[in-house]
Amino acid sequence: MFSRQGLLQTWNEIRPYFIFSVILFFAAVVIGATPNAPTEYLSQQIKSLQSLADDINKASNPEFKAFLLITANNVSNTLLVMVLGIVAGIMPIVMLISNGLVMGYLLSEIADKGHNVWLLIVKGILPHGIFELSAIFLACAFGMRFGITLFKGVLGSLLGKTKPWHPFVRTATGSVPALIVIIVFLVIAAIIESTITYWLVN
């Protein structure tokens, strides 16, 4: 499980899903920044984020509250999408598209107000986003592979194939070290977002 060979095999199996997750997310970012984006839905999502930001700013120790809220939200959502990927791998795709659309829409709104979007990306997204997005892409990749290998396992069993569940078992085994990496990355991202990013944006 934690051997170099095992980790390498897991990465080779999960890599296509990881790449697909990256492409899907940034494609959604582009769509979210266009006039064709579902603006009504995205506006509601932005309001929810603004409400969360207001709660953080009102706290006596906003940095600590931001760390707790961000960590709890990111870890719970990421684990949920990883597990619910078993249902045909749909949930990871929904999460990637939804988050990508929101980010694209938000950047578009900021640009329309005359702000420097590239400066915002460098100061407000990149410091923590490198870790957070990497963790999300990895979790979604495992979620999608869970769904596909489960489907293949069921189909293989019905067709009488030998060892139809091996890919699913390998994915489950490989998800253990991946889960550790995901949680560590999300905690690091939350620390950076609640301190460095918070300070830079303010």
For the stretch 7-65, pLDDT in tens is 788 888 899 999 999 999 999 999 988 887 787 778 887 777 777 777 777 777 777 77
Query: Strand, coil or helix: what is 193?
Result: helix
In a domain, 24, yes or no: yes
Whole-number pLDDT of residue 133: 93
In a domain, 202, yes or no: no
- Pick the closest to residue 200 from 129, 149, 145 (CA basis): 129
In a domain, 35, yes or no: yes
59-63-69-71 Cα dihedral, nearest 10 degrees? -170
Task: Write out the H or E segment, with its range, that includes residue 92.
Answer: helix 90-112
In a domain, 144, yes or no: yes
Span 161-175, average pLDDT: 81
Side-chain half-sphere CA neighbours of 81 within 13 A = 26
In a domain, 177, yes or no: yes
CA distances to 6, 138, 197 from 191, in Å: 30, 20, 9
Would residue 171 be called left, alpha or beta, if left means φ above 0 and alpha means ψ between -120 and 50 degrees? alpha
As a whole-number percent, the residues of the chain with pLDDT over 90 amount to 23
Domain count, the chain: 1
Side-chain half-sphere CA neighbours of 134 within 13 A = 16
For the record, the structure tokens of 142 come out as 């495992």
In a domain, 21, yes or no: yes
In a domain, 80, yes or no: yes
Q: In terms of residue numbers, what domain contains 77?
A: 4-197
In a domain, 55, yes or no: yes
